[in-house]
Homo-oligomer: A and B are copies of this chain.
């Protein structure tokens, strides 16, 4: 079961964090870029190849530190088919290295199409007759709740069938998240509280041995007060917390997303890890050439920072 495997890895590594792989070509050290452009041309294929080398070295350097990685699909789609090929290779490589992979795609659609998305990322695609193949084969996927339960249930079915997980957007980390999510309904509850209630209910059918569900939630680090309320509503849901680091969320802000058992949340950082070699903390010790060591140092610093706050 996804959630048990995630918690086992969190315990094993004593680390409730996840490295976001949201690569942009400008994050990639210049030597890697130059080699890839030299070999494949100064085009989208060259850029995709540079990103693949970058991702692979990050995975090599953090795979024994973190339980999971979270590639964000937008950053692969922007390099077209070649980008998706890199996404695919990244998922496979991370899994080979013992990491869980949370595909961050925020997918959503009506039931039959949600089923197709779920097949793409969590399930198996029927090729012909009895032949089935994995399309992308991630371990978990982020999804958007705007279409209600029949747009979510196909994902939950696959969580059961294939031992996968989902994280449903509840309260996102961006500035304008309140425009819709903070609207207060006539019963006095905000939209994010109502969605949280559904997440708690939807998760009941996929409970693991630690008392948590494979149906989790996304709650941004940038809204600690709301996180406290949401932690109370979704007692058995694992919370994926974006917004730490580059977006401004601190370890203190994040503590509200955890339960008293020290579990219940997993904190993501993307840019602060990927670009650690450019940061004030690490740039003097590690240059471009040792960017992967900077990633590892920052991943360890983040682990200590979060662990000290919870």
Contacts and interface: CB of A to CB of B under 8 A. Distances in A.
Interface of A: 22, 24-26, 33, 37, 42-44, 46-47, 72, 74-75, 77-81, 83-85, 88, 106-111, 113-114, 116-117, 119-121, 125-129, 131, 133-136, 144-151, 169, 172-181, 183-186, 191, 194-195, 198, 242, 247
Contacts of A108: 106, 108, 144
A8 B265 CA distance: 52
Given A80-B88, A117-B74, A184-B186, A146 B144 contact: yes
Nearest to A184: B186
Contact of A84 (B46, B84, B150, B247): B84
A120 B184 CA distance: 34
Given A47-B125, A191-B191, 6 more contacts: A43-B133, A77-B135, A80-B136, A108-B144, A110-B172, A148-B178
B131 A177 contact: no
A185 to B, nearest CB: 5
B78 A81 contact: no
A77 B120 contact: yes
Most buried by B among A26, A127, A150, A194: A127
The 5 closest A-B pairs by CB, nearest first: A148-B179, A148-B176, A74-B116, A77-B120, A80-B135
A108 B144 CA distance: 8
Given A43-B133, A180-B191, A127 B25 contact: yes
Most buried by B among A116, A150, A242, A247: A116
A175 B146 contact: no
A133 B79 CA distance: 9
Contacts of A127: 25, 42-44, 46-47
A180 B108 CA distance: 13
Contacts of A88: 80-81
A109 B110 contact: no
A186 B83 CA distance: 44
A255 to B, nearest CB: 22
A45 to B, nearest CB: 9
A127 B78 CA distance: 10
A110 B66 CA distance: 24
Contact of A176 (B147, B178, B191): B147
Nearest to A50: B128
Contacts of A180: 145-148, 191, 194-195
A80 B125 contact: yes
- Most B C-beta atoms less than 10 A away, residue of A80, A83, A149: A80
5 contacts: A37-B128, A47-B127, A79-B125, A148-B178, A183-B183
B191 A169 contact: no
B149 A109 contact: no
